[in-house]
Amino acid sequence: MNITKPTLLVDLQKCKLNLQRMLDKANSKKVDLRPHFKTHQSIQIGEIFKEFGLKKITVSSVEMAQKFAENGWQDITIAFPFNPLEIKIIEQLSDKVELNILISSQISAQKLKSITRQKLNYFIEIDTGYHRSGILAEDFKQIARAIKLLSAHQFIGFLTHSGHTYQAGSIQEILEIHRDTIDKMKILKQQFASEFPHLTLSIGDTPSCTLAENFESVDEMRPGNFVFYDLMQLNLGVCKLEDIAVCLACPVVDINRDRNEIVIYGGAVHLSKEHILHNSKEIFGQVVKLTDTNWYKLDEDIFVISLSQEHGIIKASDELIHTIKIGDVLGIIPVHSCLTMNLNKNFKFKST
């Protein structure tokens, strides 16, 4: 393995297995899969989705929409609140592909109405409990006003992201959040069905889409992280370690045997500072053994306990620290694969 600096490794076979499982679920529930490409942001990995026959995608920015439109994707939803400063690019892109934008409030709707006469497709973003952006699911009046303001545009339906599943304390809590989301979206559909009989209900978060079985009234799902998974998903009970398709290869640059610490070349600029709690302590990644063709779980759980810009500190056991030497390369399973991928766009596919 020719690794000289922090290098993100992607296991293509695991990506395909993860994608096949999610596609099988979508098909069994008669729900369209519109995967979120913010996780991988890769033209190469996007080609895998084409191989599986997928034609609709989700992105998180206008710039990302442009990138994938140039690669032949023709049906794109930008699942981020409409940014009026990018209206010219949105209009140009809408002339070339089937583009859906996101209106997250009545104020957002008013702004769009005031700055363009071009007919655009839009979703209304619904807040079902995450409280990041969107109109509260119960606020029928604001939703109706937003739709009325945009009568010159094409209303597609309601879109939500139950991101609060990532703060859940158990699988049961994830399923409860999902059930609450489904219930709220069903009521919305019923409320507006007479005027818009063909409106789309779009949901999307990897924990719910992976674990849940109830997708009643849902028309499409938009998971993204599932293609890689990560330590956060493992910690939530959403996936197994062997499902995780990314690993950051990090050179060992120093060893402190007195403190049982290993210093790696791999810090916040490679892994991000996203963390999870393990035994009430913050951890920033899990150490795995790297071989020329794969990575494997160690006999014990060893974690990255601290990050600075380029440094990572691993708290090692007595057994591990006496088997590691400077110049070795260790694998780190990232806490959040979306952020790690964003920081390591020059990734390598794992050797086979």
Mean pLDDT in residue range 299-310: 97
Residue 326: its pLDDT value, please? Answer: 98
DSSP for residue 163: G
pTM over 0.75: yes
Mean pLDDT in residue range 227-236: 97
- Which residue matches tokens 């009325």? 148
Burial 114-128 (b: 16+ CB within 10 A, else e): eebeeebebbbbbbb
Residue 2: its pLDDT value, please? Answer: 86
- Distance (Å, rounded) from C-alpha 41 to C-alpha 334? 17
* Residue 36 near residue 66 (C-beta atoms within 8 A): no
Phi, psi of 152 (to 5 degrees): -80, -5
- Distance (Å, rounded) from C-alpha 103 to C-alpha 83? 9
* Residue 48 near residue 19 (C-beta atoms within 8 A): yes
Structural domains present in the chain: 36-223 (3.20.20.10), 241-349 (2.40.37.20)
Residue 293: its pLDDT value, please? Answer: 81
- Distance (Å, rounded) from C-alpha 317 to C-alpha 19? 36
Residue 292: its pLDDT value, please? Answer: 81
Pairing status of strand 246-256 against strand 7-10: antiparallel
Mean pLDDT in residue range 133-139: 98
Reported confidence tier of residue 351, pLDDT bands at 50, 70, 90? confident
Reported confidence tier of residue 352, pLDDT bands at 50, 70, 90? low
